[in-house]
Amino acid sequence: MPDAAPGTGPVDQAERLDSLRSRSERAWQDAQSAWARAQAIQARQDEAVKASTREPRISSRSARLEALLASLPVIEQAKGVLMADQGCDADQASDLLCRAAQRANLPVREVAEQIVTKAQRRRAST
């Protein structure tokens, strides 16, 4: 009596079913993670829209310069945090900060404030 072809026995079928179940569970977990990331992005976008409607338009040149000067300390602090965390120089930290602001579609100042706030929370918790 000839043996059954490889992969057709009950044990091989059970192994294939287990493998399929494992892959589908991983796919489900990946889909859930992607959904959570999408929701987080949407929440950040919603917050950005709210922030953009709250912020007054600065029309005069002197007012714009004053706003710039007021935001420089927090931007420099954020660059310092990035330099310490990422092990990069000031130019690279500035580039990271600008790219993060572009990705989040937020002003650099707001992203800098978020970075500094998170660093302060981490420091307080240790």
What is the CATH class of 59-126? mainly alpha
Cα angle: 32, vertex 33, 38; to 5 degrees: 95
Statement: residue 15 has pLDDT above 90 = no
Q: Which pLDDT value is given to residue 21? A: 82
For residue range 98-125, list pLDDT tens digits in order. 999 999 999 999 999 999 999 999 888 8
Where in the chain are the domains?
9-55, 59-126
For residue range 35-92, list pLDDT tens digits in order. 888 888 888 888 887 776 665 665 677 877 787 778 889 999 999 999 999 999 999 9
Angle between helices 108-125 and 90-104 (to 10 degrees): 110
pTM of the model: 0.48
Phi-psi region of 65 (alpha: psi -120 to 50; beta: other; left: phi over 0): alpha
Our separate counts of H helices and E strands in the chain read 4, 0
